[in-house]
Structure formats: structure tokens, C-alpha cells
Amino acid sequence: MTECYIRVAEDENEEPMEIPSEEDGTVLLSTVAAQFPGACGLRYRSPVSQCMRGVRLVEGVLHAPESDWSNLVYVVNYPKGKIRSGSIGFI
């Protein structure tokens, strides 16, 4: 698989930025955390069910859902109780 970029945003309503994948199509959590400090994972809205789904994380490596990142926007997960930069209050 070749390198691609996935679209990641801090919130569903914010403009996403592109994060590079690895050659095998995975994305390192450290790559996401470099742009979104404190990130602990990613989630996305399923186009079928409209529910939020978590992205599989194994030993610091995020795996594409159904083997393809598609053209979805992925939203950053933060640990419960962590204050996001620029926001007021807890998430």
C-alpha cells in the first residue's frame, strides 16, 4: 500500500488537516499526537449507521476501518477529563 493522507479534525465541525499514513496504510498515534497533543485515538461517523465508531489501536498503531481510510473525517479522541487546547471546560 502507498502512503496516503487521512483527514483529521479536533471536532466534527472543524476544518480537518491531513495526516500522513505509513507505507502499510496504518497511521501512528504519535503522528496524530504531534498535531493534536494528548490524542489517545481516533473515531469517525459511520456513513451507514450515522453512529460514531472507534478506530482500532494496537500498540500505538491505528488501523484503517475495513482496510481503507476512505474520504472520511476522523475526529481526535482525548482521555476523559482532559482539557483540549483552546477549549473551556472538560470534555
Cα–Cα dist 84/68, whole Å: 28
- Write down the pTM of the prediction: 0.84
Interval 26-84: pLDDT, tens: 999 999 999 999 999 999 999 999 999 999 999 999 999 987 898 899 999 999 876 55
Cα–Cα dist 81/45, whole Å: 22
Domain boundaries, the chain: 5-77
